[in-house]
Amino acid sequence: MSMYGGVGLQDTISYEGSGVELFHDFALCVMVFILCVVVGMFYSITVGGGSVVSGYSGSNYVEFIWTTLPVVVLLGLSFPSLALMYLSEGPPGGSPDLTFKAVGHQWYWSYEGGDFLDFGVDSYMAPLGDLSEGSFRLLEVDNSLVLPFGAKVRLVTSSTDVIHCWALPSLAMKVDCVPGRLNTLSVSSVSPGSFYGQCSEICGINHSFMPIHVEFVDWGTFLAYVAQ
């Protein structure tokens, strides 16, 4: 369990998600460094009487540093950020093992399997009366999305009415479902398990009641599920 699991956040289960977690840590380090420098300078100028900065008035050297350093920092943040953005849309040139479609409706999800022509389920939030002990209130659904773990799954999202957002924190993933548009994202888990998310776009009165439940299972279980 990473430090995020320790504070109650969900651990990531994909390579892309681990990349996002690493990038977050890196950006946080950069921000803490900048904060320390700014606080140090502020302290030096006010309480310290400006002893550190005295003698640098009109210095070309200092102006060069404070112009180029932010550029270097921004470039250092932009490259891993762009790399992650492209990575989250799937491996470059790599063909996915499976394609699934998640369509948002007011207020439920429907899933279609592009490789299994007659596969399609509607996924509604399970009513409170149907919950058993240990299940999650407002997060359980009647039909969850079952996917094989370790497979490269391409998820295509869209919507039939308003903008929804298919979000799964364990995959560090959040993609808008826009009517008349297809957005693509790569969904792959390195471990089996049950993961929960919610619609993350304020989409109407029952916005909070369209949860997402993805189960990552082995290929045998997946094929048996699809064959049903």
Q: Which residues bind Cu ion (CB under 5 A)?
A: 164, 199, 203
Nearer to Cu ion, 138 or 217 (CB): 138
Minimum gap (Å) between residue 139 Cβ and Cu ion? 15
Cβ proximity of 137 and 73 under 8 Å: no
Nearer to Cu ion, 149 or 196 (CB): 196
Token pair for 196: 């929960």
Minimum gap (Å) between residue 131 Cβ and Cu ion? 21
Nearer to Cu ion, 105 or 154 (CB): 105
Burial of 185 (0-12, 13-18, 19+ CB in 10 A): buried
Nearer to Cu ion, 155 or 199 (CB): 199
CA distance 221 to 17: 25
153-159 and 98-105: which strand pairing?
parallel
CA distance 80 to 43: 33
Which secondary-structure segment (H or E) carries 224? helix 219-227
Phi, psi of 26 (to 5 degrees): -65, -45
Minimum gap (Å) between residue 109 Cβ and Cu ion? 8
Minimum gap (Å) between residue 185 Cβ and Cu ion? 16
Nearer to Cu ion, 108 or 149 (CB): 108
Minimum gap (Å) between residue 105 Cβ and Cu ion? 8
